[in-house]
Chains A and B, each alone.
Chain A
Amino acid sequence: MRYLPLTDDDRKAMLKVIGAKSADDFYGDVPKSARLGGKVAGLPDHQGELAVERHLSKLAAKNRSASSGPFFVGCGAYKHHIPASVDMVIQRSEFLTTYTPYQPEIAQGTLQTLFEFQTQVAALTAMDVANASMYDGSTACAEAAVMACRVTRRKKVILSGGLHPHYAAATKLLCEAQGLEAVHLPVVIDGEIALADMVDDDTACVIGQSPNIFGTVTDMSGVAEAAHGKGALFVSVFTEAVSLGLVTPPGEMGADIAVGEGQSIGVPLGFGGPYVGLFACTEKLVRQMPGRLCGETVDADGKRGFVLTLSTREQHIRRDKATSNICTNSGLCALAFTAHMTLLGDKGLQGLALLNHEAACDLADALEAVPGVEVLTPRFFNEFAFRTPMNAEAVLAMLDEAGVVGGVRASRLFPGEHLGDVIICAATECTTPEDIAAYAAALKEIV
């Protein structure tokens, strides 16, 4: 067994040092009824690398990868190009095979990248401070809601109808478990502003998203003002981090907490995970933040260095009074994010964002030219919803046959919302003019 260095002679010698007869001696506390005679039944025995690779490759081959043809799926995860050097960085053993930097003297690599990551996320979101990452955007959103309730000592959270339904579900679940009320507004393509009318004296926070699940971008400054007027917080959500290079960021709208998904920068699609949750807030809320924080300090010789700090918020110290139960976060994905962001810089990010927007504009132009198709999203970044003259599920299936993965049917995200003829599609820098032409041509055939 190639991963086990001990030889049978080693095992015998070690048992002798210990004074045990066999490994069975160590399991003496296991109740007799739970002791297995041998190995677990019903599973195969060990296999060589080649056999495992064959088996898994066979499964992989049954899936259609996003790069294999025209591909327009978004809704919270986006197909972007990842530079080769980013994957090289995250495969460095020193980053890949280490753990949470509990011993800062021998973890400055991880700690400095986290400090750089926090700085980048704060700048992208235009917020004061950011943490060292969350599991993903949806859990970051849920944590933001309960944090707002802690800060305001109120119990009501209002979610916009444009919030990604998975984010809304994760948030409602955590709120309800803690005895908090989550009010979810009706699903609307362009309705973030409606949050402003809903906020009252009991509201802990309002949660709006831009670009929202239908791609709609909204300046939510008015929502922030309304919230602040009632002593509530404004939580601004995004699922497409590249949009921050072009679209009004949370901080410019007066957000108190900004949360989002960082997958678009450096992290592969990977069928939904692992991704990286971004979490930023204003300076005065930092002690109520969940998750790890890295801070600057000096060592005994006065040299600049970094440590995990403000740990008393966390579960390993505060236990039942912690701000969150989060322990492991998404370190390696945060590294991919920061490495990719470091390659981009502001100039690269702005260019990338523009390319995304332009590809989506071209896509919208092309689809709108198909008779019976109506683009529903009034203002967008790289994603929009459109209405087809037929059932969206049937359209997508026929597009699939034509080799085009055309997007997500809104009815998959919002069952029972009478959105059966709506498709949400995204374009990125990976989308070529040929892809767009193929989509439009296939759609024209179908409808």
Chain B
Amino acid sequence: MTMNNQGRPTAPTAASVASIETVSGSRGLLQHADLIFEIGTSETTGVDLPAPQNRTGRLGGVARKVPTGLPGLSEPEMVRHYMRLSQRNYAIDLGFFPLGSCTMKHNPRLNEKMARLPGFGDIHPMQPQATVQGALELIDELATWLKTLTNMPFVAMSPKAGAHGELCGMLAIRQALIARGEGETRKRVLVPASAHGTNPATAVQCGFVVDEIKANKRGRVDMDMLRAKLERTDDVAGIMLTNPNTCGLFETDIKEIADLIHAAGGYFYCDGANFNAIVGRVRPGDLGVDAMHINLHKTFSTPHGGGGPGSGPTVLSEALAPYAPVPFVVKNEDGVFSLVEEVEGEASESFGRMVAFHGQMGMFVRALAYMLSHGADGLKQVAEDAVLNANYIAAKLKTVMTPAFEGYCMHEALFSDAFTADGIETLDIAKALIDEGYHPMTMYFPLVVHGAMLIEPTETESKAELDRFCASLESIARRAAQGDDTLKGAPYLAPMRRLDETRAARKPVLKWVPETASTVAAE
């Protein structure tokens, strides 16, 4: 034979894989990541700028005394820093993200591409309107979609996020009451106990007083209590109701609720956070709604971005439309689009301006790209598939977990922690899901269900993915029912173990400080 001495074993040999500490702090693909303040220096910069001439003649001496001292990084260091950090995040593009009430659906890449067209991404909100006719037309087109899908006559486009849309709707109600001469007397807003925290917070921001209504055994508004609360009518401003509600259920009596609140002289604010369950199938305008915000980042697939930006266009009924905020787009008879920016003329009854400029244009482009892609037929399918997926999960897990309510759900399945053994909590189940490679469901919300677990699959998951998830959750649920204490230590396989939130809150360290004095204590 010809002798070859290059041979070496190529099958893996069995070796101990007990915990290995590395010198670098990296662990294979997971790279060590310091803070930028520990890597960079204030003399380093990753941009090449022309040399300034140090002319500060027109500054009038209003000059910074102490430099920021902030570090810079060269481009390769900067790219690597954020790349490394990115590896410590879970994301929809990586796996199933059933965070209830947040609607973590797939974010189409076409949307990103469209938003980056220079004609949308590189135009200024204050440049002459003649130079941005396409942008105004896009806002008008998106508004038409939103009005048609909701069967509502008007939409305020400027709110920056869902909670900002709530503010818009409640300010419109406030202004309508003022116009009726009842601004000072009608201050009571009914809010179900199951509501998002933003609802009571928004009502108070607008000077209203929150009056809580309880849920009945079916997870819907307790109608007897509602009627009792409406025995006195002269102080009622309105109701803030989420539909489908935060238990993932359609409010059966919604028409009657609308009629009752209108008969009492109040307005019906509908929190549209869960519009994705009914889009293309049910129009809120047909239910008696006066105002409803639409989270473009939930129903219409704009990316959640690690906590925003959102966008919260708010549809308004005939009764509230005159009080809508400025600015808004109008199409003139000659086909030219223009912005109404001041509280005068056709906007003379407007409650005013909520924000600088005209709204979240970048989100408008993305949402319209999504709507055009799906069309009326596709959006109906979106709602149906989202609801089908949720009911499928509910059906597969109902024997091992405790469904919070009977009957079909809408777009999310809600369980209580009644099935767990003593000492095992919802939190432990959530953290164990991390080890299984999933983002946990929403925990401890809504507040009306003990140890709530709210699972929202959305329509962009395949049956195979749902089956895999259900198998994982079923196994964890069985362990939780048996009181398996190892759940208390989960996650074991994530980049970090459980973090000490008590320590973070008792002695808050809210920024990096050089040397050892690294404590920024709150008073």
Contact = CB atoms under 8 A, between A and B. Distances in A.
Contacts of A25: 408
B205 A325 contact: yes
Contacts of B348: none
B197 A317 contact: yes
A370 interface: no
A65 to B, nearest CB: 4
B499 interface: yes
A92 B56 CA distance: 39
Contacts of B148: 40, 42-43
Contact of A43 (B137, B145, B196): B145
Nearest to B35: A116
Given A60-B120, A67-B118, A246-B56, 12 more contacts: A3-B378, A5-B462, A85-B78, A104-B496, A105-B431, A108-B89, A119-B37, A269-B123, A273-B125, A296-B509, A328-B297, A328-B307
Contacts of B113: 53
Contact of A135 (B43, B160, B286): B160
B460 A102 contact: no
Interface string A289-320: 00011111111110101110111001111111
Contact of A170 (B78, B130, B356): B356
A75 B160 contact: no
Contact of B131 (A97, A339, A400): A400
Nearest to B447: A319
B135 interface: yes
Interface residues of A, number: 213
Contact of B376 (A19, A43, A248, A429): A43
B359 A415 contact: no
Interface string B443-472: 001000000000000011111010000000
Contacts of B498: 105, 299-300
B375 A45 contact: yes
A221 to B, nearest CB: 10
B229 interface: no
Contacts of A156: none
B163 A295 contact: no
Nearest to B171: A177
A395 B344 CA distance: 25
Contacts of A294: 510
A123 interface: yes
B485 to A, nearest CB: 15
B62 A217 contact: yes
B363 interface: yes
B78 A17 contact: no
Contacts of B40: 342, 345
A279 interface: no
Contacts of A244: 64, 68
Nearest to B110: A49
B439 interface: yes
Contact of B64 (A10, A18, A245, A379): A245
Interface in B216-248: none
A352 B47 contact: yes
A330 B308 contact: yes
A14 interface: yes
A324 B205 contact: yes
A55 B63 CA distance: 49
Nearest to B512: A119
Given A105-B431, A342-B46, A99 B161 contact: no
Contact of B122 (A27, A46, A268, A349): A268
Lowest 6 CB-CB distances: which A-B pairs, in order?
Answer: A345-B72, A60-B119, A272-B357, A62-B134, A332-B305, A379-B60
Contacts, number: 729
Contacts of A107: 88-90, 306
Given A297-B500, A328-B308, A315 B201 contact: yes
B49 A36 contact: no
B511 A47 contact: no
Interface string B102-128: 101011101011111111111111111
Contacts of B499: 104-105, 297-300, 305-307
Contact of B197 (A13, A77, A319): A319
Interface in A75-103: 75-77, 79, 83, 85, 87-103
Interface in A1-25: 1-6, 10-11, 13-15, 17-20, 23, 25
B10 interface: no
Contacts of A87: 116
B385 A4 contact: yes
23 contacts: A6-B463, A29-B249, A34-B286, A40-B376, A47-B373, A47-B375, A62-B134, A63-B123, A68-B118, A85-B46, A95-B306, A97-B107, A102-B442, A107-B88, A112-B85, A123-B68, A217-B62, A307-B501, A328-B307, A332-B308, A342-B46, A345-B71, A379-B60
Interface in A346-396: 346-352, 354-355, 357-358, 360-361, 364, 378-381, 396
Given A47-B372, A61-B119, A273-B362, A320 B201 contact: yes
B45 A343 contact: yes
A338 to B, nearest CB: 8
Contacts of A63: 119-120, 123, 131-135
